[in-house]
Amino acid sequence: MRYGEIGFDLEVDLSRGSIDRVETDPNDTKLYLGGLGTNAKIMWDRVPAETDAFSPDNLLIFSSGLLCGTAAPGSNRTIVSTISPQTKLMAYSMMGGFFAPELKYAGYDKVVISGKSEELVYLWINNDKVEIRDASHLKGMGATATSEAIRTELKDPDIQVAAIGLAGENRVFYASIEQGRSSASRGGIGAVMGDKGLKAIAVRGTRDINVADPAKYMELCDSVLKYIKFRGENPIKGVPPILQGLGSPQEMAIVDEEWHTTNFTWGNSRTRRKDFWTHEIEQKWKETQENVRTRLISCHNCPMKCGATISVPGLPTYMMKCYSKLTYTMAAFSDLDFGFRIAQKATEYGVDGFSAPQAMAFGLELLEAGILTLEDFPGMPEDNEGRFFYLLDKIVRREGIGDYLADGTYWAARRIGKGAEKFDHNTIKKHEQLPLKLGMLNPVYYLMYSTGEKINITQIEGQFPQEPFATREAREEFVKDWFQVPDEKFKKYYVDWEPRGEMSNPYYPTVEASCEIVDWMEKMHYIDDALGMCAGLSSFPLKPPYHIHNYPEFVTAATGIKMNKDDVWKSATRTRTLMRALNVRRGMRRADDKPPEDHWRKRFPDLEKQLLDQYYKLKGFNDQGIPTKESLHELEMDYVAEEFEQKGIYSNG
């Protein structure tokens, strides 16, 4: 018997209509833990380098993590992996909610989808009974509406559904997969689902998940719950409200948006409005938010309440979390009421809340610059809000200019030409980024932006504070109960870090310290993504309940596989390296590892080169960012080195 995990995957080939329950290799659990780790291994083994996102050979993997569905609070993430139509690299967007635990209760760790269905279908997983069902009646339906329709037709309100909307069906390059209060949005994975003719996956499970050392496991869970309570009562002082507690930034609970609205950029990530936040705005936005927010809601087995049910008068109810209430608002230079209204449509259509508003603002910028003309926007209203609604409709239907914008700013700019490329200024590896433009280069962030395989800073950054507190005393106070650090030296890095002067950005933290800090933050994310733990209780917030010191105990007690700190760390290194290898095999090189040109006003090319060199060295990559034969051998991944040799990847650089 397997513990923690189930030990079986569901293999569904939509071309042939076949469904198989396949036992997985327990040795892979030792090496890669599960979740993203084992997804990456499957992608490496089964998706050849030249496979296009929209090829039937591309796989779409819905995975739970190793701890999902166990009693560990917050272990509920679904890790979706595939080749992205937008970046052409491996995408691994994730979502919270209830899907992954339900999948494990049904008796599977993963659903691996291959092939393509000619007709629109949905997958119904009910414990051992799995069916591919006709979805022609759901064609064009919104993602939330689809979930409700499936629950109604299968007559069970406890069914969990992951579905795409019109954007996914029409292969918009930033289409999301929606699941009630959560969505996996980044990288266009919803487009791959649409391309495969798969409208939804519905799952219901009533089986046990076993753990190897029950008493120890519960002791660990209880101590995490206790610490969550402690952190709730002891918010971190000296940081903006949304960074004080655990969970995702508490966008649904908190109304104070001074930090986002004055630090982040408006429009096509252009304009900072340092004086935007006034008492009047605060009152108005508070009223808006409290009027539409019905209830704060949680994901499976998590005491945090990061999401909310939103009921805007006159519109269908939907659920929201985190930052999307502001991305449309700010892209359109509008207000929060508009943000909640358009997010309702965007959620039903199923689009990413970062990429979609930026693509729209980008389109309107091109119009303003004369690169596009009003003829490209037939029938477009004149007000800003109306224009955004208009563009959203065009994009998800791929009509006219919408067909261009549906590929994201990078591809749209190149297809439009006439200098449009310059307006695609906020992408990394062809993928839209947070709307943020800053002054002084931060070496730690430089590395995370440049090298992160997730290509999305909020899923790379974490528990090392974003900036130093003003005084040494405050920093010393902060590190006092900072037991989450993997090594005491990180406390010193932080205490010595000054807002100004010699010991400040960009030369402090030093090159070496910066690489170590990034390594720590990145490792914690990789561990979370393998275990299916929400970053909101682990790698993302300051002083989280899960960390490198208790994770090995969790893994050991759950699975019965004895793992210490070094073993877990090494497993995360392995997955990080395999992710890099997958993308290297698809052509990614050093030249791609860079932040948006204008992310910082002050750049330091020599320092940046040193940072990247040192980071590669620490990671066991060569100067092109390719994992070396030696480091692969040490990680028991000679199979990667062999293929690199065969393909001449080392010799051709």
Residue 73 or 267: the one with the smaller Cβ distance to another protein is 73
Residue 152 or 278: the one with the smaller Cβ distance to another protein is 152
Residue 214 or 419: the one with the smaller Cβ distance to another protein is 214
**Helical packing angle, 443-451 and 511-531, nearest 10°:** 50
Binding mask 258-297 for another protein (x = CB under 8 A): ------------------------------------xxxx
Nearest to 60 by CA among 174, 194, 208, 206: 194
Nearest to 526 by CA among 141, 38, 155: 38
First to last CA, the chain: 45
Please, which of residues 31-90 interact with another protein by CB under 8 A?
Answer: 69-71, 73
Cβ of residue 104: shortest distance to another protein, in angstroms? 10
Contact 398, 406 (CB under 8 A): yes
Residue 302 or 360: the one with the smaller Cβ distance to another protein is 302
Q: Does 587 bind another protein (CB under 8 A)?
A: no
Q: Does 6 bind another protein (CB under 8 A)?
A: no
Cβ of residue 141: shortest distance to another protein, in angstroms? 15
Count of Cβ atoms closer than 10 Å to residue 283 Cβ: 11
Strands of 46-142, DSSP E: 60-63, 78-83, 90-91, 94-95, 110-114, 121-126, 129-134
According to DSSP, the β-strands at 271-272 and 438-440 are unpaired
Among 129, 157, 480, 652, binds another protein (CB under 8 A): 157
Cβ of residue 223: shortest distance to another protein, in angstroms? 13
Q: Which residues contact 351 (CB under 8 A, 6 or more apart)?
A: 165, 167, 172, 174, 175, 176, 185, 190, 392, 395, 396
Backbone angle region of 208, left / alpha / beta, with phi > 0 → left and psi within -120 to 50 → alpha: beta
Residue 145 or 239: the one with the smaller Cβ distance to another protein is 145
Q: Does 383 bind another protein (CB under 8 A)?
A: no
**Helical packing angle, 489-496 and 511-531, nearest 10°:** 120
Cβ of residue 228: shortest distance to another protein, in angstroms? 7
Residue 81 or 559: the one with the smaller Cβ distance to another protein is 559
Cβ of residue 73: shortest distance to another protein, in angstroms? 7
Q: Does 128 bind another protein (CB under 8 A)?
A: no
Residue 181 or 475: the one with the smaller Cβ distance to another protein is 181
Among 2, 88, 116, 207, binds another protein (CB under 8 A): 207
Please, which of residues 340-379 interact with another protein by CB under 8 A?
Answer: none
Nearest to 281 by CA among 325, 358, 344, 334: 334
Question: How far is 398 from 415, CA to CA, in rounded Å?
Answer: 14
**Token reading at 73:** 């609070």
Residue 320 or 448: the one with the smaller Cβ distance to another protein is 320
Counting Cα atoms < 13 Å in the Cβ hemisphere of 279 gives 0
Q: What is the contact surface with another protein in residues (CB under 8 A)?
A: 69-71, 73, 98, 105, 144, 148, 157-158, 180-181, 205-211, 214-215, 217-218, 225, 228-229, 232, 294-303, 305, 309, 311, 316-319
